[in-house]
Structure 1
Amino acid sequence: MTTDPGAAPEPAASAPSSGSASSPLRSRTAARTIGFGLAVAAVVFIAFSLRPGATALGPVLAEISASLGIDGSVAGIITALPGLLFGLVGFVAVSLGRRAGLSLSIALSLIIVVLGLLLRPVADSFWVFVPLTALALAGMAVGNVLVPAWIKRHGGTRTVALMTLYSMFLTVGGSAGSGLAAPLAEVAGSTVSIPADGWRWSLGFWGLVAVVPLVLWLVVARRTGHDFPGAPPQALPDRPLRTSPTAVFLMLLFGLQSMNAYVQFGWLPQMYRDAGLEPNLAGGLLSVVAALGVIGGLVMPTVIDRSRTLAPWMIGFGAMTTSGWVGMLLAPAEAGLLWAVLLGLGGFAFPTAIALIPARSRSPHVTARLSGFVQPYGYLVAALGPFGVGLIHAATGSWTPVLILLACSGVLMGLAGLRVSGRVFVDDEIAARQ
C-alpha cells in the first residue's frame, strides 16, 4: 500500500460526474463526521462478524447432515454456498453502494446477516436451512465488497491502520467461528432436551454477535449520509477492469486462496476426523489454520506498504499451501499440527489479497470498482472448490484425488501472486488503455 495519493483522502480527485450524490464538499464533510474511534469500532466489529456464519459450519457439518438427513454430495452444496453467494451477490454490491451510499448499504447488509443467522438454527429441513444460510451469506457478501472501499474513502492517513484491523479481525472472526463451533454445540447439547440439536445453538450464537456491528453501522450511516465516491475527472476508471492485468491476476490470487480457505473451513475438519482424530481436536486444528491468518492480517498491510516487491512472500505462500496439502495426503493424523501450521502460513495470501485492493488503486472510486471485480469473480472461483471436493470425495470415497488437486492449486496461487507483487496501480493500467 502506497503512502502516495492512494493512501490519503482524495475529495478533489473524487469529483463526481453529473448527477452523482457525492461532491468534494460532501466528501470532506463526511470524512470529518467519522471519528477515528467510531471508525475503528465499526471496522473491527463488522470484520469479526463477516466470517463465523460460514466457518462455523465445517466443524459441525456431520451433525447438521445427520439432523437434516443430508448425504455427502449434498453437504458439498452447503460448503460451497459461502463462495457462491459471496461471488453472485458481490456483483451487485457496488451498485447498491452507489445508490444508497457505502455506509447505509453496509448497515442494510448487516440486517440481512442478523436475520439469516438467527433464523437458520430453527430450520427443520435442508430446504429451509439452505435459503436462510444463503440469506446471511448474501449480507456478508455486500460487506466483503464495500468495507475495503469504505476504508479507502474514510481512512485518510490511517488507511493502513484500518486495513490492518479489518484483515486481522476478519480472520479472528473466522477462527472463532471454526474453533468454537464444536465446543458450543457440545455445551448446548448437554443443557437442552435434545442433545443432537446442540449445533443449532452453536450456529445461532453468531446471529446475536452480529447485532453489535449492526447498531454501530446504523450510527455510522446516519453521520455520513450518501458517501459513495464520485468518479475521478475524465471517467477513465470506468473502463472495464478486465483491461487491467493487475486486476485480473489479483482476482485469481484472491479466488485461489479463497477456494483453499473454504475447502479448509468446510472439509478440513472432516479430513482430520476421517483420519481418526476427535471432533474437538479436528476443529481445533482448523482454528490453528485460521488463527495464523490473524498474524497475516496484522502484518501484511504494513509489509505491502513498505515493500518494493512482494515476490518472495508470494512464492512462500504458494509453497507452504502446496506442502500443507501434500502433508495431509501422506500423514494427516501423525503430523496434523504441522500441516495446519503450513496451511495457515500459506493463508497469509488472503489478508494480502484483501489489503492489495486499496493498495493497488489510487482513488476511492477505483477501489470500490476493484473490490467489486476482485471479490465477486474470486469467490465464484472459490465456490468451485468445496463443491468439487464434495463431489469427488462422494464419487471416489477417498481424499487422495482431492488433496492432489489442492496441492496444485497452491502452485497456481503463487504464480498469480507474482504478477501483482510489484507496485503497479490499476488506475494507471486502465488510463494507459484509453
Structure 2
Amino acid sequence: MPFWLIAAAVVLVAVNLRPGASSVGPVLAELQAGLGLDATAAGVLTALPGLTFAAVGALAVALSRKAGINGSIVLALAAVAGGLLVRAFVDSAVLFLVLTVLAFAGMAVGNILVPAFIKRHGGRHLPVLNSVYGTTLALGATLPLLFGGILAGTDAEGWRLSLGLWGAAALGACIFWAVLTLRTGRDPVAAVGGGRRTRTRMRSSRTAVALSIFFGVQSMHAYVQFGWMAQIYRDAGLEQATAGLMAAIIAGLGIPGGLIMPVLVARSPRLRFYIAGLGVCMVAGYSGLLLIPDTLPWLWAVFLGVAGFAFPTALALITARSREPQVTAQLSGFIQPVGYLLAATGPFAIGALHELSGSWTLPISLLIASSVIMVGAGIRAAAPRYVDDELEAQNAR
C-alpha cells in the first residue's frame, strides 16, 4: 500500500474520532435547553465518551478477529456517522444519549485499532504516521470547539447544525475506508491475542500499567476540557464565542503537540523531563483559571493546551513501547479501555462537584492535584523498556 494512501486513511479516520465529544461543549447550554437536560444529565453526557470508550474498546481486538482491522474501522465509522447525524435531529433526551453512545462506540473501535494499523503499515515512516495521527486527532477535537459557537449562533436551533455537521464528515470517511477495504482486504494483523488472558498478561507489565494510568489521567483532563472548559470560561464572564475560542486554543495546541511529541518519544533521551514540564504547565493553567480566570484567559488556555501534549505522547508510547504489531494491538486494547474508564469519572465528577459546591473552586483544585499522578505515571512509562520483553520475562518465571 503506498504511503500517501496510508496517510490519507489515517487522516480521515483520526479527524472523526473526537468531534462527537468536543462538539458538545460550546453548545452545552443550548443543548440542555433544547432537550430539557438538567445539570446531572449534562454531566452524564460529558462522561459518556470515557464510559463508552472503556466498555466498547475492550471488544475492539475481538471484533478485528472477525472483520479485520480495515473492516472493523469501516463499521466504526458507520456507527460514528449514523449516531452523530441522527442525534442532531431528535427531540428526545434519551434517544439523543443512545445515539451518542452509538457514535462513541464507533470512536472506541477506531481508538484501539488505528495504532495497530499504523504499526502494521508504518515501517520507516512510523514516527511520521504517529505525528499525522496525533495531529489530526487534535484537529478533529479543535474544529468543533472553534466553529461550534459560531454555527450554533445562527438561530435557536443552530446547535443541531453545529452537532450534525460532524456526522456528515464521518460519512465521507466511512465511504473512503469502505473502498480501501474492498481494494486491500481485511488486514488481520490484530487477530492475535485478545480477551481476558491478554488483559491478565498486560497487567504483569509495569510499563503497560503505568502507560494506562498516564493515558487515563490525561484523557480525564482532555474530556473535562471538552465538556466543561467553555462553560467555565462562560461562567467567568466571557461571551459564548470567546469561551469557545479559549477551549479551541486548548484543543488546537494539540496540533503542534501531535507533530512534536512522537518525534521526541522516538528520539529523545530526555522524555521524562518533558513529561514533568507538561505537568508544570497543567498546574499553571488550572491555577490561573482558579484565581483569575477572566484575566489573560488566553494564557491559561495556552498552558493547558501545552499540557495537552501528554495525549500525543501517550499515543506514541503505545507503538514505541511495543515491538510487534499484535502486541501493539493488545497493548492498545488494554491501555485505552482502562484509561478511558478512569477518564469517564472526570467529567461526571466535575459536573457533580460544581453543582454541589456552586463554584468551580473545588473541581479545579482536584484537577490540579491529579496532575501529580499523571506526571508520576508518565515518567515510569517513558522509561526505555518494551512491553514485549516484560511479558516474555514474566512467562519465563
User: What is the TM-score normalised by the length of structure 1?
Assistant: 0.88
The answer to whether the 8 A contact 1:319-1:411 is kept is no
For residue 240 of structure 1, give the secondary structure of its aligned residue in structure 2: helix
Q: For residues 280-312 of structure 1, what are the alpha-carbon distances to aligned partners after superposition, in whole Å with 9 as ceiling and x for unaligned?
A: 000000000011111100111111111124111
1:323 Cα deviation after fit:
1.5
Q: For residues 10-33 of structure 1, what are the alpha-carbon distances to aligned partners after superposition, in whole Å with 9 as ceiling and x for unaligned?
A: xxxxxxxxxxxxxxxxxxxxxxxx
Alignment root-mean-square deviation, CA: 1.4
Decide which moves more: 334-343 or 361-370: 334-343
The answer to whether the 8 A contact 1:309-1:421 is kept is no
- For the residues of structure 2 that align with 1:321 and 1:40, how far apart are their CA atoms? 31
Equivalence for 1:161: 128
The answer to whether the 8 A contact 1:319-1:414 is kept is no
Q: Alpha carbons of 1:394 and 1:238: their partners in 2 closer, same or farther (altered >3 Å)?
A: closer
When Rg is computed on C-alpha atoms for both structures, the one with the higher figure is: 1
Which ranges of structure 1 fall in alignment gaps of 5 or more residues?
A: 1-33, 190-195
- For the residues of structure 2 that align with 1:83 and 1:240, how far apart are their CA atoms? 23
Equivalence for 1:52: 19
Which ranges of structure 2 fall in alignment gaps of 5 or more residues?
A: none
Alignment-mate amino acid for residue 128 of structure 1: L
1:239 Cα deviation after fit:
6.3
Of residues 167, 175, 185, the one that matches 1:225 is 185
1:226 Cα deviation after fit:
2.7
**Matching of residues 108-147 of structure 1 within 5 Å:** 108-147=75-114
For residue 101 of structure 1, give the secondary structure of its aligned residue in structure 2: helix
Equivalence for 1:152: 119
Equivalence for 1:423: 384
The answer to whether the 8 A contact 1:68-1:126 is kept is yes
Equivalence for 2:368: 407
- For the residues of structure 2 that align with 1:165 and 1:315, how far apart are their CA atoms? 24
Identity percentage of aligned residues? 50
Q: For residues 218-260 of structure 1, what are the alpha-carbon distances to aligned partners after superposition, in whole Å with 9 as ceiling and x for unaligned?
A: 122123323222659xxx9886100000000100010000000
Q: For residues 175-211 of structure 1, what are the alpha-carbon distances to aligned partners after superposition, in whole Å with 9 as ceiling and x for unaligned?
A: 0021111111113x2xxxxxx2110011011111112
Of residues 181, 203, 211, the one that matches 2:163 is 203
- For the residues of structure 2 that align with 1:342 and 1:106, how far apart are their CA atoms? 34
- For the residues of structure 1 that align with 2:325 and 2:282, how far apart are their CA atoms? 32
For residue 59 of structure 2, give the secondary structure of its aligned residue in structure 1: helix
Q: 1:260 and 2:225 equivalent?
A: no
Equivalence for 1:9: none
1:125 Cα deviation after fit:
1.9
Equivalence for 1:16: none
- For the residues of structure 2 that align with 1:231 and 1:205, how far apart are their CA atoms? 37
The answer to whether the 8 A contact 1:167-1:297 is kept is yes
For residue 317 of structure 2, give the secondary structure of its aligned residue in structure 1: helix
Q: Alpha carbons of 1:185 and 1:237: their partners in 2 closer, same or farther (altered >3 Å)?
A: closer
Alignment-mate amino acid for residue 86 of structure 2: L
Equivalence for 2:61: 94
User: What is the TM-score normalised by the length of structure 2?
Assistant: 0.96
For residue 306 of structure 2, give the secondary structure of its aligned residue in structure 1: helix
Equivalence for 1:362: 323
1:213 Cα deviation after fit:
1.4
For residue 212 of structure 1, give the secondary structure of its aligned residue in structure 2: helix
Alignment-mate amino acid for residue 166 of structure 2: W
Alignment-mate amino acid for residue 74 of structure 1: A
Q: Alpha carbons of 1:389 and 1:237: their partners in 2 closer, same or farther (altered >3 Å)?
A: closer
- For the residues of structure 2 that align with 1:108 and 1:275, how far apart are their CA atoms? 41
Alignment-mate amino acid for residue 170 of structure 1: L
Equivalence for 2:309: 348
- The size of the alignment, in residue pairs, is 391
Of residues 71, 82, 107, the one that matches 1:104 is 71
